[in-house]
Structure 1
């Protein structure tokens, strides 16, 4: 007698021919969900990259000669700038994701947990535990290693933890795109807190360079968070080796740290020299990673749909 198989997501009994992915059996609905393109995410991501690039360039250009603003005004302006990237992404995402929207509570929970972890664990570990600011600028190699081995791994571990703790093992995480989506949200949470702390610790920032700093930070964290999310989703929906997610963490952390280091190197001396070069690099890297993620998702879906569909 043939054993009755059931969908690995909803538990509903399924009949042959079985739809499988990585050895797991899916009902028709969830097999389609796991492999759907999720255009709402891609449009929101592209809107974030292009919209923030255009907005930051416009604001920086129009305010480049503004001098003498009160500290309170600079602080308020900086705080608003720190929140804009996340607000813009969420706005565009939910505008595009109307047919089967991700639950707002799950998105908000991942975002808030990433913010809290960055504030409560990430920054204290970097600043007080490892005292990175005291030694990271010693020379070029030390700066590069600090960016990758400390900053990159700390931030990407926060992304992983937020996604894993809130949504990864729930029925709502039921498609490949959820990994990239929630990884992006967690990355935006990290970026939001980093930008808020940057503004508060400096008592406000000059608007022109400040908006470029905010945008490049948001683009980096969102992009590499999405990359780690891709690895996490593949590990859940496809039988990958045990080292698959750690590999994703290493790749995302290395790229994150390398990007952060390059931003400082390209701008020569941070914000005070030429933040425009940082903005250009940030936009280029974000667009390249955007294209890479689209390619990875399409390739994964094509391999799935072209593979064997019968379970023995």
Structure 2
């Protein structure tokens, strides 16, 4: 969901407030996204993703022009290695978007919520394996509980909860690779959607040419829904990027559970998706893991407010 950025180590009160409001807006918009995706559920997920890409380009480009941050972008276009890395991150986010759109339409929103709950735990596990980062005891326990939840769901369903795992791993991989791009989040997002816009536009054109498209000619509602795919994709990402730059990493770490919690509540109470005892047990394990994982960040913020040294996340 979110585009990884480097947070400013410390921000003033005004900046922190603005950052909090930016980030909160982004997470609330992401939390409400399943409602929009349900409205386009009658349109094939690949077509929806293609429109998400194409209509994000003008929005992301306009933001770069307004903020006058085009120099890094022009440099990236002249750097083959940066273009290759952006293409790889773009592929990861495309997989994530595609599975997410399909899952909402297929009545599997609960599984998408689980995937985004698991995502931060997958990220720290990847850091341990790929970057040889040493995990603290609490982090090991949290990852272990998440793994146990996946095992329980697998045994109960007779197969891996692939929707949750693909969402978690694709976004964790995206975040891991995105940090290698030496450009800002808004420039990076524009570069990614610009790269994706070429195959996306060709795919939309082919659908329209063969009479399978839902854009033109179309019901007016479908046309406007597909046009709206751009803002619902780009706007929360940009709000997040601006907010994360003004907030501490620990604050973002705690706030990231707003969206999956809203998705979970919408799935169970609005979409009426099944939520039996086994799923409840798995979610309890995941929620416990997230409390264990998040507690050092909460304690660090409390200590910081009291003037004491903050605890490290791996403590």
Report the TM-score when normalising by structure 1.
0.36
Compare the two structures and name the one with the higher helix fraction. 2
Larger Rg: 1
Report the TM-score when normalising by structure 2.
0.35
Greater relative contact order, per chain length (Cα 8 Å cut-off, separation 6+): 2
